[in-house]
Structure 1
Amino acid sequence: MHDINKDIYAVSIHKAQGLEYDSVKVIIPNSNSEKITHGIFYTAITRAKKRLKIYWSAETMDKIVKSFSADETKQRSLEIVRSKLGI
């Protein structure tokens, strides 16, 4: 059950730098998938202290995962996503 009296915030990934939240939801529309750099993605997923939910299409997820898989230093982001999302 959701507490309707609980505050909900929407902030850009850039504004969220340096902050942490118990629950984070990241929305990546297909039209913006090319704009998601490793730095932006890493910042977004590491804001979550307890819960992370990423809303993206299978196609967008595939593009991002493939682009990060090619670079060993970027694979840490994929490890974080897999552990937080249980995949």
Structure 2
Amino acid sequence: MDHIETEPIDLVRDKDFIDKYFSLTIKKELNIDIDVSNEYIAAQNIVSRKLILVKTFSDVVMGNPDLYLLLVYLIHDINTRPLTKGQIIRALKK
């Protein structure tokens, strides 16, 4: 098995992959082209010490309820589900 298939996504090092994954999902679901790179940051949870994505939504996202809800879901999904780099890459190739 390829190492990249089982390698957990690194929220800091793999930010470009996450940005592309979010943008592609938004394009597919809402037909909106948007750069999401400034809509969230990686930060350490104070209690668990785990790195998580934290919303830093702009007025553009806050003003679009569908986009807001989809980004909230995507961030929650990354924070709670152990995605691998391979899963993200496969989603980008579809």
TM over 0.5: no
TM-score (norm 2): 0.29
- Tell which has more relative contact order, 1 or 2 (C-alpha 8 A, sep 6+): 2
More strand by share: 1
TM-score (norm 1): 0.30
